[in-house]
Chains A and B, each alone.
Chain A
């Protein structure tokens, strides 16, 4: 009679969380699986690359700082996938679109915080390691990070970049799913543009984007306050757009 010998579920209490928390936890759990792979690869590269370079020449630039780009675009693309494929399952499971939007935004902020912590912490660890090995340490594109940058400002800059990028990923996926490929592509400057803007803003060099002069700074890059202000405005605008689109979205029949 029984096709399987082991029980379907290990005995466990049914968790009756609210839908918002349940959504956030689910998204985090799925994302966690791919993130483990991501960080595994990053770790290998970050450790192996300087050792490799050291064998042939002089180690000078930070690998983790370079990995910042992947920390922006990898979750960004995973979240596009979440925003296109998950909402039908969410609605079919008897939950509101509101709880989907709140839950995913919550999850995205948590992911951004985790990534920012790991990136900033990694950068600090890398700097210490380079110092111990007698190597020069500097971010590779000379932005507002000088080699003496503090952990706090690093963390905040990363957090701002990642939050914008991940909300942007949700928005891109939502527009593609709700309005189709044409609109999805046409609106990319608006939906993915902010993410790009943040990476430029945080990683700019003086001759590239003259924001600092505009704001009367004498420093070498974009002032942190400006980064945070822009990030806040972009995040709120995109989150509002995400809310408006995702809470109205129809779940169309799908093929297959």
Chain B
């Protein structure tokens, strides 16, 4: 955990964003305090606090004085909207570039994406059934 190339506080913030996006953290749900987070993951508390401060600035979390920090009501939508932007810019565009470089028609790429999505959906249904 936290062994990416980004500063650790960025990685912590990303981790929490992912949790919110996946629904592991629901709106209005209380999140770990920075001190709990620091001791649980053996991270410097100042580093953890920096990550949480960034999330508060970005409107993903909000503080309730004396109680703790909570996921903001609109956080998932906000993250999805932001995620959409960066997804196309950082993930889709390079795929298109790469495909062109390799001479793969865009239709093949799309077909592949559809097949993959169908497989994943099927697996999820199986998982839900069992």
Establish whether A and B are touching in the complex (CB under 8 Å). no
